[in-house]
Amino acid sequence: MKSFLLAPSILSADFSKLGEDIQKSIDAGGDMIHFDVMDNHYVDNLTIGPMVLKSLRDYKISTTIDVHLMTNPVDSLIPKFAKSGADFITVHPETTNHIDRTLRMIKDHGCKAGLGLNPGTPINYLDYVIDQLDMITVMSVNPGFGGQAFIPESINKIREVRKRINESSSNILLQVDGGINIKNISDIALAGANVFVIGSTLFHSSNYKIVINKLRQELEKVHFNLIH
């Protein structure tokens, strides 16, 4: 497995040719796909559902897909997205009355479980469920819309979550979502992240391959510094 994974976020993709645009991001070097689901209740936006995920699988998108559920309620959607082809399902603690049960439901449906932490969400939600997690997502913007600027205070939160992961001795991925670009990705990696959601930085560019290569160059510098 690569030290660092890039996860193109389809929230910023061209929805008029979604399958083609996602495949283009994968061909350019994307490692996994970030699939944002918003319900206009938990966040003030409305995006896509299980049928769109199934259509991407039918389009032969075989790359790992993390379904990021920003919906309330959330539990009823988990079986539908699992059936439609999700690999990871990430939920937020504010969207369920019983985090433990929701995470177990994700696992019971054959998916890996993720927990998303908004800028204002305390990390003590991890205290009793970290053993069930395959990925923790630190939101570095308030969820709802793409193209937002990275919140600088997120760096400290990433460090704190990385410490929790290391103390747990578990191989949990630490993903950061929001405002990642070529200028800040190295700082985010140094803070402890190893999965990076890239949205407008990638999909609003004219050449996906050039952008991903530049991001990789920054991450390679971090990797070199970490091992020396």
Q: Which of 21, 31, 177, 187 is catalytic?
A: 177
Please tell me the total number of residues recorded for the chain in this structure. 228
Question: Which of 66, 175, 73 lies closest to 113 in space, CA to CA?
Answer: 66
**Catalytic residue status for 177:** yes
3-state secondary structure 175-191: EEECCCCCCCHHHHHHC
Cα-trace Rg, the chain: 16
Angle at 177 between CA 165 and CA 159, to 5 degrees: 35
Residue from 36, 39, 66, 134 carrying the catalytic annotation: 36
Residue 36 annotated as catalytic = yes
Residue 73 preceded by cis peptide, ω within 30: yes
Task: State the DSSP H helix or E strand holding residue 90, giving kind and residue range, or none if neither.
Answer: strand 88-91
With contact defined as beta carbons under 8 Å apart, do 118 and 19 qualify?
Answer: no
Query: Which tokens is 47 given?
Result: 């995006």
Which is it for strands 195-198 and 88-91: parallel, antiparallel or unpaired?
unpaired
Which residues are catalytic, by number? 36, 177
